[in-house]
Structure 1
Amino acid sequence: MLKTSLTLLALIISGQVHSQALQSDANKIQQQSKEQSKEKDIERIIVTGSRIAESIDEVPASITVITQKQIAAQLKVSSEIQSLLANLVPGMAPSTGTSSNSGQTLRGRSPLVMIDGVPQSTPLRNGALGIRTLDASVIERIEVIKGATSIYGNGAAGGIINYITKKANSDKALSGHASVSSRFSAIETEDSVGQRYEGGINGEVNNFNYVLNASYEKNGLQRDADGDILGLKYGLSDAVMQDYFAKVGYHFDDEKSLQFTYNYYQSKQDVDLIDQIGNINTGDKTQAIPVPEGKSVLGDPQGPTNQNIMLKYVDDEVFEQTQLMVDLYSQEVENIFFYSPTLANLDGGYTGGQSLINSEKTGLRVTLNTLVDFNFDNGGSLEATFIYGIDALNDVTSQPMVDGRIWVPEMDMKNLAGFLQTKLIYNDDLVIKLGVRQEDIDLTVNDYSTLKLCKKIDQCSVPVDVTGDTLNYKATTYNIGIKYNALPLFSPFVSYSQGADISDTGRLLRTASVTDISLIRTEASVIDNYELGFSSDFEQVHFEFATYFSTSELGTTNKFNEATGVYVPVRAPQEIYGYEALINYEINDAWAVNATYSWVEGKNTEADVYLGAKQISPPKATFNVNWTPNNDISVAINYLYVGDRKRFEAVDGEYVGDQGPIDSYQIVNLSGSYNFATDWSTFIGVENLFNQDYYPTKSQGYTYGGYNIKGLGTTVNLGVNYQF
């Protein structure tokens, strides 16, 4: 607005200045057009699908790329990445509304979460806390590849979610930004006000470039539509989140570069409250209340601490037509869970317990990319790309108790894999992809004893002494895909991909009932994923549709043991199937709409029973409207609809396990921003605009004690941004 006022004043004073102002505006418009064109080009490029930069049009698979602009828009409402993914990714289950992503699967299976290609999930003991591993403010874009894949190794049964971190976006020596905001309940503001501070600088100096970013956020009490405090199990009330990020790069010349990245993320919930446990079968919600007299808060603050160190070397011409990329990385994670009375052993003096997942990964990835062009006498052309290399990973994971007991023993996995991916593009229209990966995994577990855990005094598991061993897994997985791009109105693709998965071995070990680890069903599961889809582009409309079918020989579900009170893993064949649709319509420069729909279902084929809410989510639809009348104002409305899923009957009048009935609900979010001065803007975001009183899908599907926590009531986020 200030720029507009000065321009009007110039028009009045001088025609010459008027001419200069018009030229200046024309230059700005031209620059903005170039930047928008560049941004769109970047949006069409991905690196996750085949580990090299390539156009989305060259990938025969379903892909969702969430841009920095979309991330910034979602941050106006909430900093929670789970909500962002649920709102923007077809096939991604609805957000749980908590710090846990248990039940938030990708097409019914667990995805592998990565930061710049470095695995963040802990597949050996999947605690379902991998999505919240960094602050959204350091993400440049998110690439989601759906369907089983082995291109990055173990844990990608449902696909890959790769957070691509920011890089220096200016050739200036110094540029940056800062943001301050506050978030609070509009229903009951008492103790609900939180604060968020975030800022960073970046730039280029000679051959060096750098990005430095820091964020700190402290939530107030999270309240539902009635103003009551949400339950604390995986809760976010009074949680403190902090993230410190640094990326430094050096270009030796136009072809060779070295880059160092470090990220530290922590989220801890430390409250002076306790849960008042409800019951999903009686309709009583779980909520947090002040600590009654004579009681105290038990356990340490729950939440993750996550550190990543990455070193990347690139030589674009290590030899003719061949690029070399070398990634060396280290990751440490500590996820502390909630205190639970079901982890009791009165004979040993334990009235309950609190577990944590410790995981340390070190890895090396060497990737070579060779491009060969062929021109034929008939005028045809063939572009062949060969992507090959080796991956080495050492993953040491365990799940001890905070009090020193060992629940899941240390698992030491050494993984060496070789791979070859081939991409053939004939006449720029026909894309054929072929790939093979050979896995060689050694998993070492020493002798250990299972824990005696008592849900009730007379309902205890029986401890077993288990002889350890080194288990070896070998698997060869394949993928093939074809896409035809000659017709913008109809670009079809078909693909088949496999993934080798030994995820959540820790759950199998901690519930062992045999005396030798070789007798536990820890075999790797091979997932076969079939997909058929197409995309269409006509004028301002883009449409995508895909249907898929996924099978696994040894999926893992739960079965409740009445005698011990423990949910025991059951390994049985599974099939999962579904479809997704997406439409984008850019009506004009000011208006754009986006809509998605996804449906998924799955069965244990051996017993012919449906899979529960831990894997299968109900139908989901989203509808987003964006209005940008000028460069200073933007408004967005986001609508989420979650449908019914009622596949199970009550047992003796009560629902059990993850088989609770799910009723539909709908949420509307509103956000807007206004540039009120040069480099300054303010924003507002409202989550659950109409104060829908609802339970998220996990809260309805999970019948376990304390999980039936309601969703957030109307919550407002206000803030201001500064850029320089």
Structure 2
Amino acid sequence: MRFPLLLSAALLPLATAAQAADKAPEELETPIVVTAARTSLPVTALPLTAEVIDRATLDRQLQISGSVVDAIAALTPSFSPARQKLTGQGETLRGRSPLFAIDGIPQTAPLRDGSRDGFTIDPFFIDRVELILGSNALQGIGGTGGVINQVTVSAPAEDGWSARTILQGTAESGLRSDGFGGKAGALVANRSGAFDVVAGVAYERRGVFRDGEQRRIAPDGTQGDLMDSHSLSFFAKAGVELGGGVRIEAMGQRFHLEGDGDLIAVNGNRLTGLPSTGVRGVVPGDPPENLAETLALTLTADDLAGGALRVRGFWNRTADIYGGGTFADFQDPAIAPRGTLFDQSQNISRKWGVNASWERDLGPLNLVLGADLLNDHTVQRLAQTGRAWVPPTDYRSIAPFAQGNLALWDGKVRLAGGLRWENVRIDIPDYTTLWFYGPQRVGGGSPSFDRVLPNGGIVIEPTPGIRAYASYAQGYTVPDIGRITRAIARPGIDLDTFLDIAPVLADNREIGVEVKRGPVEASATYFWSDSSNGQLLVLVGDSFAVQRQRIELQGLELNLTTATPVPGLRLGVGYAHLDGRVDSNGDGRVDADLDGANIGPDRLNLSADWTMGPVSLRLQSRTHFAKLFRGPARDPRNDFSGYHLLDGAVSVATGVGTFTLAGQNLLDRQYIDYNSDTQRPTDNLRFFAGRGRSVTLGWLGRF
């Protein structure tokens, strides 16, 4: 009963805010369009929860923390705490994995999730970030927690040249030399008649991170780390207007991040609360790295058969190297004595596809018809010996879809709905597992499935700026095939009969109320989501395995920002309550809480923004509430103790650009990060502290 009561309580301040806003001027902002929703309709016409992090907001958050993932984690209460590592394993949105995309191009490898999809482009080349919260299939596979779409920069709207530059330096509290980092980047753009082009380069060097007690934070020697690393990135986009509303645009980008490989983790002590640390040394093998390359060609025709056509073809490649070791899985006496063979895994994924849609208004009905094609080829290999850990696997998906949005009574009521038909086939050749698993000779196969994924909802907007909505949507993903196929330890297995690739279907229902009038922006959303055959990450030995279990989620999200009597001052508050349960014994009833690898804690965000002339100031706090995990196998050592962080930034706009001084964890709080605090209760090596105070001085120039 507490969720309906909380939602009812939330509606009272919303109603009060709406009444107060009626006294404000009636000028409303330009409607926001979220391209990830696959329609040109404003987001207020859609029965879903969406947020947009605009360029100015993103720039400020990047000065504070440095990455898009950290920015989302700081601004979106239902996104789990960022791990501050290169891996995103365990980072969820509303308790499920989100789909990361660049201009709608999926970055996630569907067959073997390497958890690096939040670090595939330098944020200097991102114009805005679009978030659609909750399970949906608008972008196809993977959006069970929502969609995080990073929209790249474009050339200026007017003829002429423009440029944007960034210079910044970062220091940890204590000002030790190994903690200094810096970034430099430049972006040049030109529009000349029908032609436009934008191109840029960015380089970033990250120093060693320290906790609130000035200790080096231990590197994640297996998954890879952001600290003690460097990255070099390139970006280009060019377009031409062919007349009659027809445009062709090409985009290419390359992002390469590599660790320095000279920091070794040292055990901490969970019993005494001492986190693991790092000391200088030589790391064996290749340092962890992340390489992502994307090419895209887009055709748009604004007037084709009375509608607007958009077709994008894309190619994407990722190659991720992880830290190595003499892990039991990697041993093979035919190569080296048991216990001595060092190796490290590498995930290589190449995908290509086509996204096509045609949108037309038929009186009060907005209709979108389209089809998506996706091919992905993934292999997980052992880099030092050239062995295949996950066999070369091909994923093929063909998905036609249709969406409709009917406006009634001059748009005061809208009925929306659609269908997406997913046709999936996975091809795996015959292969032999590693020696540790037998080795076993496994017969390949081509398992397949097809599903119709529906969505529908209603939007009521009695007056501009006030709306209520209710919706149902299905999202899907496939289980992590790589984790399953690499660990087969029984003889005589044939994948056509053994491999369960039944999709993870997530049914998402939500109701929401929004007020955006005058100085007030407020929203309240209640959602509940379930999967009868969900995907759960369960720690088995040294690595996570996939288990198919029933999962039920529900949550409440509240957000409010408003002006104050103080000139230039706006205050904000955001709150998220998440509750996730799982069927741990297979009897069809949920009986245990989702753990910290699968859901985030409750969160309260507070913010204050003050602008006066060229000066702007922001203070933001994040309170992650303590969480006890209930269930028959509950380990009290995995309960979360909670922590509170305060960040801030001050900017001054001048004639030569904007200067910003930003700080993360201004109070220099000592804490253990959420993922470490709720996982591996006996692992003293992966007992990571969170980052202490860091300060960044930056300059953003525009010419």
Give the alignment's TM-score, normalised by structure 1.
Answer: 0.87
The answer as to whether partners of 2:28 and 2:465 remain within 8 angstroms in 1 is no
Task: Please list every run of 5 or more consecutive structure 2 residues that lacks an aligned counterpart in the other structure.
Answer: 1-25, 586-590
**Counterparts of residues 578-617 of structure 1 (less than 5 Å):** 578-587=555-564, 590-605=568-583, 607=585, 608-617=591-600
| CA distance in structure 1 between the partners assigned to 2:629 and 2:217 by the alignment | 27
Give, in angstroms, the shift of residue 190 of structure 1. Answer: 2.5
The answer as to whether partners of 2:472 and 2:509 remain within 8 angstroms in 1 is yes
| CA distance in structure 2 between the partners assigned to 1:566 and 1:716 by the alignment | 35
Show the counterpart of 1:283.
273
The answer as to whether partners of 1:692 and 1:713 remain within 8 angstroms in 2 is yes
Supply the AA of the counterpart residue of 2:606. F
Other structure's SS at 1:485 match: strand
**Counterparts of residues 542-691 of structure 1 (less than 5 Å):** 542-559=521-538, 567-587=544-564, 590-605=568-583, 607=585, 608-630=591-613, 632-648=614-630, 655=637, 660-676=638-654, 678-691=655-668
Task: Please list every run of 5 or more consecutive structure 1 residues that lacks an aligned counterpart in the other structure.
Answer: 1-36, 374-382, 454-460
The answer as to whether partners of 2:647 and 2:665 remain within 8 angstroms in 1 is yes
Show the counterpart of 1:376.
none
The answer as to whether partners of 1:94 and 1:620 remain within 8 angstroms in 2 is no
Q: 1:441 aligns with which of 405, 408, 424?
A: 424
| CA distance in structure 2 between the partners assigned to 1:39 and 1:673 by the alignment | 27
Residues 416 and 171 of structure 1: CA distance in aligned 2, closer, same or farther (over 3 Å): same
| CA distance in structure 2 between the partners assigned to 1:276 and 1:654 by the alignment | 25
Show the counterpart of 2:7.
none
Give, in angstroms, the shift of residue 487 of structure 1. Answer: 4.1
Show the counterpart of 2:331.
345
Give, in angstroms, the shift of residue 513 of structure 1. Answer: 3.6
Give, in angstroms, the shift of residue 284 of structure 1. Answer: 3.2
The answer as to whether partners of 1:155 and 1:503 remain within 8 angstroms in 2 is no
Give, in angstroms, the shift of residue 203 of structure 1. Answer: 2.2
| CA distance in structure 2 between the partners assigned to 1:520 and 1:284 by the alignment | 43
Residues 566 and 72 of structure 1: CA distance in aligned 2, closer, same or farther (over 3 Å): closer
Q: Which moved more, 1:355-364 or 1:582-591?
A: 582-591
**Counterparts of residues 203-214 of structure 1 (less than 5 Å):** 203-214=190-201
Give, in angstroms, the shift of residue 181 of structure 1. Answer: 1.1
Q: 1:151 aligns with which of 132, 135, 138?
A: 138
Give, in angstroms, the shift of residue 202 of structure 1. Answer: 1.2
The answer as to whether partners of 1:437 and 1:477 remain within 8 angstroms in 2 is yes
Give, in angstroms, the shift of residue 705 of structure 1. Answer: 5.6
| CA distance in structure 1 between the partners assigned to 2:241 and 2:28 by the alignment | 23
Show the counterpart of 1:401.
382
Residues 621 and 188 of structure 1: CA distance in aligned 2, closer, same or farther (over 3 Å): same
The answer as to whether partners of 2:537 and 2:598 remain within 8 angstroms in 1 is no
Show the counterpart of 1:24.
none
| CA distance in structure 2 between the partners assigned to 1:180 and 1:568 by the alignment | 43
Q: 2:467 aligns with which of 467, 475, 491?
A: 491
Give, in angstroms, the shift of residue 479 of structure 1. Answer: 0.3
| CA distance in structure 1 between the partners assigned to 2:27 and 2:316 by the alignment | 33
Supply the AA of the counterpart residue of 1:693. Q
| CA distance in structure 2 between the partners assigned to 1:628 and 1:443 by the alignment | 54
Q: 1:191 aligns with which of 173, 178, 185?
A: 178
CA RMSD of aligned residues (A): 2.2
Residues 92 and 568 of structure 1: CA distance in aligned 2, closer, same or farther (over 3 Å): closer
| CA distance in structure 1 between the partners assigned to 2:639 and 2:519 by the alignment | 40
Residues 721 and 537 of structure 1: CA distance in aligned 2, closer, same or farther (over 3 Å): closer
Supply the AA of the counterpart residue of 2:349. S
| CA distance in structure 2 between the partners assigned to 1:538 and 1:150 by the alignment | 31
Give, in angstroms, the shift of residue 557 of structure 1. Answer: 2.4
Q: Does 1:417 align with 2:417?
A: no
Other structure's SS at 1:123 match: coil
**Counterparts of residues 248-267 of structure 1 (less than 5 Å):** 248-267=238-257
Q: 1:272 aligns with which of 262, 284, 309?
A: 262
| CA distance in structure 1 between the partners assigned to 2:458 and 2:184 by the alignment | 47
Give, in angstroms, the shift of residue 61 of structure 1. Answer: 0.7
Give, in angstroms, the shift of residue 52 of structure 1. Answer: 2.2
| CA distance in structure 1 between the partners assigned to 2:348 and 2:28 by the alignment | 39
Show the counterpart of 2:296.
310
Give, in angstroms, the shift of residue 714 of structure 1. Answer: 0.8
List per-residue Cα deviations over 1:129-148 (Å, max 9, x = no partner): 11111111111111111111
Other structure's SS at 1:70 match: helix
Q: Which moved more, 1:152-161 or 1:336-345?
A: 336-345
Supply the AA of the counterpart residue of 2:469. F
| CA distance in structure 2 between the partners assigned to 1:450 and 1:39 by the alignment | 61
Give, in angstroms, the shift of residue 558 of structure 1. Answer: 4.3
List per-residue Cα deviations over 1:72-107 (Å, max 9, x = no partner): 111221321111001112321111111111111011
Other structure's SS at 2:447 match: strand
The answer as to whether partners of 1:187 and 1:713 remain within 8 angstroms in 2 is no
Other structure's SS at 1:57 match: helix
Q: 1:136 aligns with which of 101, 106, 123?
A: 123
List per-residue Cα deviations over 1:203-226 (Å, max 9, x = no partner): 211111111121100011111112
The answer as to whether partners of 1:363 and 1:392 remain within 8 angstroms in 2 is yes
Supply the AA of the counterpart residue of 1:196. K
The answer as to whether partners of 1:512 and 1:520 remain within 8 angstroms in 2 is no
Give, in angstroms, the shift of residue 317 of structure 1. Answer: 0.5
| CA distance in structure 2 between the partners assigned to 1:493 and 1:537 by the alignment | 14
Q: Does 1:80 align with 2:67?
A: yes
The answer as to whether partners of 1:110 and 1:156 remain within 8 angstroms in 2 is yes
Residues 189 and 170 of structure 1: CA distance in aligned 2, closer, same or farther (over 3 Å): farther
The answer as to whether partners of 2:417 and 2:456 remain within 8 angstroms in 1 is yes
**Counterparts of residues 225-240 of structure 1 (less than 5 Å):** 225-233=212-220, 234-240=224-230
Show the counterpart of 1:721.
700
Other structure's SS at 1:125 match: coil
Q: Does 1:336 align with 2:321?
A: yes
| CA distance in structure 2 between the partners assigned to 1:97 and 1:242 by the alignment | 19
Supply the AA of the counterpart residue of 1:624. S
Aligned positions, number: 657
| CA distance in structure 1 between the partners assigned to 2:331 and 2:423 by the alignment | 39
Q: Which moved more, 1:566-575 or 1:172-181?
A: 566-575
**Counterparts of residues 83-94 of structure 1 (less than 5 Å):** 83-94=70-81
Supply the AA of the counterpart residue of 1:176. A
| CA distance in structure 2 between the partners assigned to 1:353 and 1:224 by the alignment | 30
| CA distance in structure 2 between the partners assigned to 1:249 and 1:351 by the alignment | 51
| CA distance in structure 1 between the partners assigned to 2:691 and 2:516 by the alignment | 38
Give, in angstroms, the shift of residue 577 of structure 1. Answer: 1.2
Other structure's SS at 2:78 match: coil
Residues 366 and 221 of structure 1: CA distance in aligned 2, closer, same or farther (over 3 Å): same
Show the counterpart of 1:54.
41
Q: 1:529 aligns with which of 479, 503, 508?
A: 508
Give, in angstroms, the shift of residue 275 of structure 1. Answer: 0.8
| CA distance in structure 2 between the partners assigned to 1:653 and 1:61 by the alignment | 37
The answer as to whether partners of 1:266 and 1:303 remain within 8 angstroms in 2 is yes
| CA distance in structure 2 between the partners assigned to 1:567 and 1:97 by the alignment | 20
| CA distance in structure 2 between the partners assigned to 1:307 and 1:566 by the alignment | 28
Show the counterpart of 1:324.
309
Largest Rg, 1 or 2: 1
Other structure's SS at 2:628 match: coil
Give, in angstroms, the shift of residue 652 of structure 1. Answer: 11
Give, in angstroms, the shift of residue 591 of structure 1. Answer: 1.4
Residue identity over aligned pairs, in percent, reads: 24
List per-residue Cα deviations over 1:437-477 (Å, max 9, x = no partner): 11111100111222244xxxxxxx54432111011111111
